[in-house]
Amino acid sequence: MLARGLRETQRELNRPMVGVFVMVPHEASMEMVAAAGYEFAILDLEHGAMGITEAARMIAAGNGRGLHVLVRVPQADPWIGQVLDAGADGVVVPSIDGVEPARKIVRHARFAPRGDRGLSAYVRAADYFATLRTEFVARSNERVLAAGMVEGPHGLGQFDAIAAVDGLDVLFIGPMDLSLALGHGGDPEHPAVVETVVRLRERVSERGPAMAIWAPDATAAARWIDLGIEFVAVGTDVGHMLAGLRAPLAALARPTS
């Protein structure tokens, strides 16, 4: 595990950080993401074909290369505790549509008295009991990042209330599902989607949570970075792989199927 959490690192750098979603369930994916120079990776357990066993190995591989690793879990319980015990730097929970689901993320991500995360000191995050329980609890409560994704109509309607939830570190905007909610399905770069995100950014105070977003390409990512969104995930490993595989064929003027 890294000495500092992702949110601590971003604050110290005082600039946006760039990452990528990872869907290919193999440790090599994490090592290549780190070698390419990304600062964080988000393992996608919501849409990727992986479970806790693959995720645990990938978290370790990423941490070993100095990569901050978040995990997008399918739902808060029981996934949050499992991926944090495996050493993840934080969790991203999709489809947050109100205050109570946001509070649930915080509760599951923090030990008492800040939450109700179950404690075991015999897990990777605690160095398999090499770290004292009290040190492990204090370190985890300080460094683990809790993020909720706002991406649907109900979440948009409750945005200000969700942003005010104590302990929620990051509001993650999901532009793909947001495009569905706004009637522009599958087009995260539609002007209405972009304008909505810009307005949401303006509504988050300096004392509020950080913001994160997924960008389909570098052009979109640059726009969000210029807007000051703290965490920008550019594409997915699958998309980058497909683009890389197609590039030589395009250069050779060979059709792709």
pLDDT tens-place string over residues 156-199: 999 999 999 999 999 999 999 999 999 998 899 999 999 999 99
Q: Give me the pLDDT at residue 186, please.
A: 86
Nearest to 173, CA basis, from 196, 192, 190: 196
Catalytic residue among 26, 47, 154, 190: 47
Q: Where does the pLDDT of residue 255 fall: very low under 50, low under 70, confident under 90, or very high at 90 and above?
A: low
**Residue 172 parent element (H or E):** strand 170-173
47 is catalytic: yes
How much of the chain exceeds pLDDT 70, in percent?
97
Q: Distance between CA atoms of 186 and 188, rounded to whole angstroms?
A: 6
Q: How far is CA 19 from the centre of its chain?
A: 9
Q: Give me the pLDDT at residue 88, please.
A: 97
The pTM for the full model equals 0.94
State both tokens at 109: 């991500």
DSSP-derived 3-state class of residue 39: coil
Please state which CATH number belongs to domain 6-251: 3.20.20.60
Q: Where does the pLDDT of residue 4 fall: very low under 50, low under 70, confident under 90, or very high at 90 and above?
A: confident
